[in-house]
Homo-oligomer: A and B are copies of this chain.
Amino acid sequence: MALEQELRRAIEEGADGRLKELIQEPHPADLARVFPSLKLAQQVKILRLMDPERAAQVLVELGREQVPPLVEGLGPLRIADILATLPTDDAVDLLGDLPREQKDRLLGLMAAADAKEVRELLEYPQDTAGGIMTTEFVAISERLTAEEAIRVLRETAPDAETVYYVYVVNERGQLVGVLSLRELILAAPGMLVGDIMRRRVISVNVMADQEEVARVVAKYDLLAVPVVDDNQELLGIVTVDDVLDVIKEEAAEDFLRISAIDVRGDDVTAPPWRRAMHRLPWLVAFLLGEMMAATVIKGFAGTLEAATVLAFFITAIAGGAGNAGTQSLAVVVRGLATGELNAREILRVVWRETRVGLLVGLGSGLTLAFVALVWQGWPLLGLVVGGALAASILVATMLGSMIPVVMARLGFDPALASGPFITTLTDVASMLVYFSLATLTILHLR
C-alpha cells in the first residue's frame, strides 16, 4: 500500500529521479501487485524507467488481460529489448496469452533464433510438459572430461535458467545421464562425464500432462525435470517454480470445479455479468434436474395431502443426504487426485464410502427420528423420517463415490462431478425414498 502511494505521488509530481529510485528496490512480483491500481500511462512510464530485464520480470508477473495494452503502450523497440532478456518459457507464457496479431508482431521483433525456438514451443498445448518447459538448460556430451565440462558450463551457464542439474546427452542428443554441479566440481579433472554421471534419470515426455509433470517433480523432490520426445531426445526442462504454479493452478481448478464453478470464467477481475453468465448454465441445468424431484413429490400428492407434516422434513432429508453425498464426493475426488484411490478399483472405492455411509446414515437417521418424535409426538413419523434419511444418506454416499470414480475411469476430470450435481441427484433419490416409505406406512396404517 505504502509503495503504491509513493509511486503515485512521484508520478504526479513528475519526480522522475525519485520514481526511478523507488522502482529499483522492490521485487518485481511486488511491483506487479501494485500495477492494477495504476493508470495505463503510469504503468508504461514505470516500465520505461526500468532496465529491460527488470521490466520483463514485472510483465511476466502480470495477469493476462493486463499485458496487451502495455505492449501497445511500450512500443516495438522497447518490447524487443524486453523480450530479449526473457528465458524461452517465460517468453512463451507472455506471448501465449496475447491476441494472434500482436503475438506475430512480437515474434517479428525477436532475434531469429529466439523467435524460432519460441514458435516451436508455442506449438505445444499450454497444459503439457512442452507448454511449460524452457529450452534454456545445460546439456553436455558424455565424452567430455570433467574439466572440459566445467569450461563449457562457465561459457554457456549465464544463458541457462538453472544449472542445478547438468544433463548428459550422447551424440544423437538423447538423454543418457545427469550430474549435479557439485559432483562435477568434486570429480577428478580428467574423468569422463560418462563415467561419473548417474545413469538413472527421471524424465517426462514432451506431451505429458502438466499435472503428471508436477506429480513427478513433487514425488522425487526434484528442482527440475528434463523433457524428452519419443526418441529420448532432450528438448527442454521444467523447473520447480513452474511446477509450483501448476500445482496451485490445478488445486484452484479442482477447488472451484467441485462447487460447479469454471475457473476461467470466474476470474476475480471479470465484470459481474460475465461471471454470472459462467454460473447460470450450471444453475439452470441443476434446476431442471430438480424438476425430477418435483415430479416425484407430485407423484405422491395424495400422501402429502393426507399428512402435510411430511413437507416439514423435506429440506432436512434432502439437505442431509446432499451433505453426506458431497462429503463422499470430496474424499473420493481428493483420493483420486493424490493417487491414494485408484480409478480402476471402482467397486473398492464405492464400498469404502458405502460402509461410512451406512454408519453416518444410521447416526443421522436416529437423530432425526428422535427429534421428529419429540417434536411431533408421533412414533411412526419418527420412524419414517429417520428411515428415509438413513436410506437417502446411504444412496448419497454411493452416488457421491461412484460418479467421480466412474468419470475418472472414463478419462474425465472427477471434480466435474460437482457437489451441486450430486446434491441434485440425491434430492431426486431422497424424495423417492422418503415418499415411498411414507406412503407404504403412514397412508396404510393410519
Listed in ascending order, the chain A residues whose CB lies under 8 Å from chain B are 25, 27, 29, 154, 157, 163-164, 181-182, 186, 200, 202, 217-221, 223, 240-241, 243-245, 247-248, 251-252, 254-256, 258-261, 266, 268, 272-273, 275-276, 279-280, 282-284, 286-288, 290-291, 293-295, 297-298, 301, 304-305, 308-309, 311-316, 318-320, 322-324, 326-327, 329-331, 333-335, 338, 340-341, 352, 355-356, 359-360, 363-364, 367-368, 371, 375, 389, 393, 419-420, 423-424, 427, 431
Contact = CB atoms under 8 A, between A and B. Distances in A.
Interface centre among A243, A297, A316, A335 (most CB of B within 10 A): A316
A290 B107 CA distance: 60
A218 B61 CA distance: 12
A359 B272 contact: yes
Contact of A255 (B244, B319, B330, B375): B330
Given A284-B364, A335-B268, A431 B276 contact: no
Contacts of A259: 258, 326-327, 329-330, 419
Given A221-B241, A272-B355, 10 more contacts: A282-B327, A283-B360, A287-B367, A294-B316, A297-B311, A297-B314, A298-B309, A301-B309, A318-B319, A319-B423
4 closest Cβ contacts across the A-B interface? A251-B251, A276-B359, A259-B330, A290-B316
B256 A330 contact: yes
Given A244-B244, A330-B259, A419-B419, A27 B297 contact: no
Contacts of A164: 164, 223
Nearest to A365: B287
A181 B241 CA distance: 19
Contacts of A305: 308
Given A240-B240, A258-B255, A315 B427 contact: yes
A278 B432 CA distance: 28
Contact of A308 (B290, B301, B423): B301
A335 B341 CA distance: 29
A244 to B, nearest CB: 5
Contact of A261 (B27, B181, B315, B331): B331
